[in-house]
Amino acid sequence: MKLTEDNYTELAEKVIVKLSQEKRPNGKPVQMVTTSKIRNLLAMTADIYNDVINSQDEKLSTDIAGRIKYMKIRFVYEAGRQAEVKKLVEQAGLLEHLDDIGNSRKQYILFSRYMEALVAYRKFYGGKDD
């Protein structure tokens, strides 16, 4: 589902609620991605966000578009390193949402807000990290 101004907060909440309620076959909860890990993903997003906000063009520059593609690779790498991050990336559709950005400034801003919402709901529903 494509991110919109109307749905990004609800999508983020659904993802985190689903992840927070996952159980193993023995009934014990599955460890959710840590706040620090999800904040690392947000930090990558925020670095580009600052440049996007400072640009007034509705079309992203080739430099910024290239940085977004590289960020996607970093997300894939982090997902490959830790199963909890992979679950988040898959459940939240982060790779697909990164692809949806294309060269749209508006879509990047929405993606960034979606990432912020994921962090906020992780903190709200996930409580403290173990």
pLDDT tens digits, 38-93: 999 999 999 999 999 998 899 999 999 999 999 999 999 999 999 999 999 999 99
Rounded Cα distance between 29 and 20, Å, is 8
- Has residue 130 got a pLDDT over 70? no
- 97-108 pLDDT, tens per residue? 999 999 999 999
Listed by start position, the domains of the chain span 8-20+33-126
Integer angstrom CA distances of residue 109 from 42, 87, 103 = 12, 23, 11
* DSSP summary character for residue 61: P
* DSSP summary character for residue 57: -
Please answer whether residues 32 and 19 qualify as being in contact, where contact means their C-beta atoms are separated by less than 8 angstroms: yes
Tokens representing residue 39 in the block? 């904040």
The alpha-helical segments, DSSP class H, found in 3-130 are: 8-20, 35-54, 62-81, 83-92, 94-101, 105-126
pTM: 0.92
Structure confidence at residue 120 as a pLDDT band (50, 70, 90): very high
